[in-house]
Structure 1
Amino acid sequence: MTQSVEVRTFTPAGNVMPLSKRLATLLHYRGLIYNLVLRELKARYKNSALGFLWSLLNPLAMMLVFTIVFGVLWPNDSIEKYPLFLLCGLLPWNFFSSSVMSGLNSVVNNANLVKKVYFPREALPIAAVLAQLVNFLLAFVVLFGVLIIFRSNFSPWLWLLPFVILIQTCFALGIALLLSAVNVFYRDTLMVMDVVILAWFFLTPVLYTVEFLPATVDVGPFALDVRRLLYIFNPMASFINMYRDLLYWGYRTDLDFFLRTAFTALAMLAIGYWFFNRYSGRFGEEV
């Protein structure tokens, strides 16, 4: 007797709601998103003695560990104020990776809600990313404390920081929307992304400067500009560069660089939302 194997395929739902109507519906359910964010935050710190203080202690602990490894055991004298340098890259990276991974699981982890209640399904990954944004903003208390300890001058361009945070949130949300839809059909997505995120971390200048990389690499007859390619194909490298410009170096981020990164983030958000909207009608039968 042979057993049949179910093969899941990407087939869009029959009736896909127009984007304008979908956004209007999402706005109508903003109260639900708020409650989902609160639930996410409460669940994260449930039965924790320190509660929300972990939002401050976790980045501080990670900074200390990496500082000991790369500042003491394996020192790099070319980077001044290494704890500050590290934190300016580590916080944005943690926000991105936690947003992607929590957003990826958001639909599957709320299967009962998806099956029984009508609401715009994108509220789930949006709430997951916004909850991580709250933790990210709380962690800035630690960052500004370290800025004061190292007596760094606050950049006059610090007012650009909210715009950098906004476009990074759009980028993370776009990926979360895309992957949360894929994960409904293929549960291996989580395991694959665990490996991808780890590799992505080391390919992003969080622990090191871009100058640590070789300027060019010869591939056959071609000499590839490694540093330029890093910024082209790795948007997180661009984001971390902008955070360090404003918080570590005290520079104004180049406008062209900012606009190119913003365009990439908005394009990712549009692609992710389109993909999610196209397949969300089948979530109820797949989860």
Structure 2
Amino acid sequence: MNSNVTRSTEVFDTEALRSPWGQLRETFRYGYLLRNLVQRDVKVRYKNSLLGVVWSLLNPLLMMMVYTVLFTILRPNNTIQYFHIFILVALIPWQFLAGTVMGGTVSITQNSSLVKKVFFPRALLPTSVMFSQLVNFVLSLVVLVVLLYLSGIGLTRHVLWLPAILFTQMVFMLGLALMLAAAQTFYTDTLQIVQVGILAWFFLTPIFYPFEDFAQTTEMLGLSFNAARLMRWINPMASIVDSYRTVLWGTMSSQGQPVAMDPLMLARTFVTAVITLVIGYTLFSKTEHLFGEKL
């Protein structure tokens, strides 16, 4: 029998819905559906587009140019070398996050007919958004590496940290996407809140400024604290962006030696990411049986 026909007639194990672990097993069983959803998202994104997939490469480059010009004017005494690369290294993972969170938020509501008519693990919808955005991320990363070598920066052995950083970011983003997808299904103004939150989050993350801009000691409401350290703790993307920047843009120190990663900080961020995923997946799995009624 044709494998595609066999797959199309697979029975969704409703008994597995009784526990999050059972739902997780069902999700892995539907890996082929995840692949099809990702392919669909990528095709729809570039359908009737004049430049097609080239936009994935142009978008971060154009944004890099805008921010470079803007902040060069706003900060005429800027001493950061290769400032355009400095921005691009942080902008690419940020766009990965923003695309995943925004798309993940509406992934259930925009597929309401599919959700109401077909039985499948609903978590595949926000997950497919993340993997379709991963395609853009990888393409942009290739352009970044080319620019790194053209700028004379290149790469060092510390680039081996890149998979760990990327995995940490994906775990964190998936947790957020699941959480927000469930919230949007019940409260349709969630998307508007997310849009405002993403904008504020962007400026609170060191995209176009270095961590060194945070004062080591800051006083507020009579309390004294290390602003840079606090930002790393409360903003996982600040730590993730700084990690990308360390292994890509900041590969050489002023003494000409490779800049080392901070494994402890990345480990702390990974723990935060896992907690976010556990919370997001638990909320999603506990409410997904109501999605059909709410849509």
TM-score (norm 2): 0.90
Show the 5 A alignment for 1:71-220.
Answer: 71-72=72-73, 74-220=75-221
> Alignment partner for residue 254 of structure 1, among 241, 248, 262?
262
Distance in 2 (CA, whole Å) between partners of 1:260 and 1:209 is: 20
Distance in 1 (CA, whole Å) between partners of 2:279 and 2:77 is: 40
In structure 2, what is the equivalent of residue 12 of structure 1? none
Distance in 2 (CA, whole Å) between partners of 1:108 and 1:257 is: 36
Distance in 1 (CA, whole Å) between partners of 2:119 and 2:244 is: 39
Residue 73 (structure 1) shift = 5.7
The letter for the 2-side match of 1:266 is V
Distance in 2 (CA, whole Å) between partners of 1:179 and 1:252 is: 35
Unaligned residue ranges in structure 1 (runs of 5+): 1-14
Residue 16 (structure 1) shift = 4.8
Instruction: Please give the per-residue CA displacement for 1:26-78, whole angstroms capped at 9, x wherever unaligned.
Output: 11111111110011111111100111111111111111111111125643422
Distance in 2 (CA, whole Å) between partners of 1:180 and 1:171 is: 14
> Alignment partner for residue 284 of structure 1, among 250, 274, 292?
292
The answer to which of 154-163 and 209-218 deviates more is: 209-218
The answer to which of 170-179 and 217-226 deviates more is: 217-226
In structure 2, what is the equivalent of residue 263 of structure 1? 271
Show the 5 A alignment for 1:27-42.
Answer: 27-42=28-43
Aligned pair count reads 273
The letter for the 1-side match of 2:144 is L
Structure 1 residues 184 and 213, CA gap change in structure 2 (3 angstroms): same
Residue 217 (structure 1) shift = 2.6
Q: Secondary structure at the match of 2:218?
A: strand
Identity of aligned residues (%): 41
Distance in 2 (CA, whole Å) between partners of 1:57 and 1:129 is: 20
Distance in 2 (CA, whole Å) between partners of 1:188 and 1:142 is: 36
Residue 124 (structure 1) shift = 0.3
The answer to which of 264-273 and 65-74 deviates more is: 65-74
The answer to whether the 8 A contact 2:17-2:23 is kept is no
In structure 1, what is the equivalent of residue 281 of structure 2? 273
Q: Secondary structure at the match of 1:249?
A: coil
The letter for the 2-side match of 1:185 is F
- Between 1 and 2, higher relative CO (CA 8 Å, sep ≥ 6) is seen in 1
The answer to whether the 8 A contact 2:145-2:154 is kept is no
Q: Secondary structure at the match of 1:51?
A: coil
The letter for the 2-side match of 1:77 is N
* Structure 1 runs, 4 residues or longer, greater than 4 Å off: none
Distance in 1 (CA, whole Å) between partners of 2:204 and 2:78 is: 21
The letter for the 2-side match of 1:256 is L
The letter for the 2-side match of 1:60 is L
Q: Secondary structure at the match of 2:53?
A: helix
Residue 205 (structure 1) shift = 0.4
Residue 228 (structure 1) shift = 1.1
Distance in 2 (CA, whole Å) between partners of 1:73 and 1:222 is: 31
The answer to which of 245-254 and 232-241 deviates more is: 245-254
Residue 214 (structure 1) shift = 2.7
Instruction: Please give the per-residue CA displacement for 1:131-159, whole angstroms capped at 9, x wherever unaligned.
Output: 11111111112211210121103111111
Instruction: Please give the per-residue CA displacement for 1:183-209, whole angstroms capped at 9, x wherever unaligned.
Output: 000001000111100000000000101
The answer to whether the 8 A contact 1:164-1:242 is kept is yes
In structure 2, what is the equivalent of residue 5 of structure 1? none
Q: What is the RMSD computed on CA atoms of the aligned residues? A: 1.3
The answer to whether the 8 A contact 1:17-1:277 is kept is no
The answer to which of 21-30 and 105-114 deviates more is: 21-30
The answer to whether the 8 A contact 2:107-2:126 is kept is yes
The letter for the 2-side match of 1:239 is I
Distance in 1 (CA, whole Å) between partners of 2:291 and 2:170 is: 24
